[in-house]
Amino acid sequence: MASGAALLLALLPQVQSVPNLLENPRARCLELKDKHLQEGDVIITGAAFVDALTLNVSGTLNAHPFCRVASQLAYGSDDTLNFEVWLPGDAGYNGRYLAVGNGGMAGTIDNATMVEYLNEGFAVAGGDSGHLASENNDGDGAPGTYLPYLHDRDQVLAWIHNSIALFTTPAREFIKTYYAREAEYSYYYGCSTGGAQGFALSQLHPDLFDGIYAGCPGFWYSHLALSFLWNGQRTKGDAYLSQGLLDTVTSAVLDQCDGLDGVVDRLVENPLACNFSIDTLACDKMISNSSECLSAAQLAAAKAIYAGPKDIRNGSAVYPGFSVGSESEWEQGQEGSLAEAFSVPILQNLVYDNLTYDPDTFDWGSDVDDVNNKAGVLIDETSTDLRAFREAGGKMLVSQGWADPYNAATLPIEYLQRLQGFFGGDVSDFFNLFMVPGGGHCGGASSYPSVPAKHRVIAALQAWVELGIKPESVLSETPEDGSGRTRQLCPWPQTAHYVAGDENAATSYICA
């Protein structure tokens, strides 16, 4: 039996069979700048026709010739958003618009994702989120570093809440002018900060997109930064967890829970079903090798990361903790580097406006209120009131890797539960979450190289939006180890269960 993901892929050619033949696409492109030299607050700074296979973005060539339009948009009191629109110049254009989001502190345009979806026939657009990385320490936060955009309220609001919406209206105008017809459907693709931008679109700009994909979304951004700080503080000194020790913990998790989905493949399908106790790895008289067991300080640190940060006033969760099976990914950033790159700069620039602020003095009670009041209101997207999005017919697909080294994997699950509470029941008619076993942050996890790293999420969204076929699964493919392994991702709370056949083929599993 074909999997749900395979069915969606089979339907995709039907969805995309809207050829748009252009006469003189090169001339139309060059005319675009003259026709739209300035429209409202938008200025076109360049329009050039790019021949097929002449633009190389991180090793990917453009399959279609396209009209590349560069523009600037004025917003706020005196701010500028730079964005580009890429318009396929041949019959490969599928009649759809797709906007792409940003990552991290943004400040640049994501050309890599743009060329990926240009090659699938979309007219694509992306922006710098309303500020330049080149003016903000190249987009990298660091303790004691002044980041101008975090001192400009309009730029902070544009960063996550508004920038995609700001450039989408003119992008659609460019599409209408170039093809003499509007895009038939509009989609959004974003991961990490881009995932948070997707949540912002559904909550604050509910009429703009027919389908939204939000991967590994940092939508509780201010508290995500606090989780970095919490974990970094608790793994200092003797509590530090080496990569070798973390690998030992993950291996123990896999030894206990690998086969819960019916196949032994060094992967836990659902970490919430794994009742692993890290106390089994405590150093004692029988086990004293520091590379194979955890000291009391290390045990406390690991338990703190599993538990997540707590408000000392009442013990309430400040942010979820990390799941079992993700331990091998912690050393990448949870033990201090992410705090230095995100937490400290946000506290010093946005919250306290003091570059000498000492994060070690952070009070896990009253100072959480400061973060909520000074940062959360500007950069968080936690509302479950998606009534306008649902009523507009919007569809939202979210994915989250269980081994994400940055985001606590259960945050989207908690959001889904709150969303169901708000609507009084099932929300799968417009919102679906797909958890990725062994998945990393917007791709593969280094500790799970055999796990497929790419997911056919836009194909699933198109079939859902345009054909009314709710995704029963999403095809996952292209592992980082180069193998041909495929898996199907299941709408939560369903998980993949092995039935029969090739253990490395998606068709051998069902969602249940």
20-24, 48-52, 446-450: range with lowest mean pLDDT: 20-24
Domains delineated in the chain: 19-223+380-473 (3.40.50.1820), 230-379 (no CATH)
Percent of all residues in the chain with a pLDDT value above 70, rounded to a whole number: 94
Q: What is the pTM of this model?
A: 0.96
Report pLDDT digits (tens) over 11-29: 555 455 445 568 899 999 9
Whether the per-residue pLDDT at 286 is higher than 70: the answer is: no
Place 340 in a pLDDT band, splitting at 50, 70 and 90: very high
Long-range pairs of 29-32 with CB within 8 A, sequence gap ≥ 24: 29/67, 29/68, 29/69, 29/87, 29/89, 29/178, 32/67, 32/69, 32/174, 32/177, 32/178
Task: Give per-residue burial for 318-349: e unless 16+ CB within 10 Å, then b.
Answer: bbbbbbbbbbbbbbbbbbbebbbbbbbbbbbb
Report pLDDT digits (tens) over 373-397: 999 999 999 999 999 999 999 999 9
Q: What is the pLDDT of residue 22?
A: 81
Q: Round to whole Å and give the CA distance between 190 and 212.
A: 8
Q: What is the pLDDT of residue 290?
A: 72
Q: What is the mean pLDDT of the chain?
A: 94
**Tokens in use for 403?**
């081994």
Whether the per-residue pLDDT at 9 is higher than 70: the answer is: no
Strands (E), 402-463: 431-436, 452-455
Q: Is 210 in contact with 186 (CB distance < 8 Å)?
A: yes
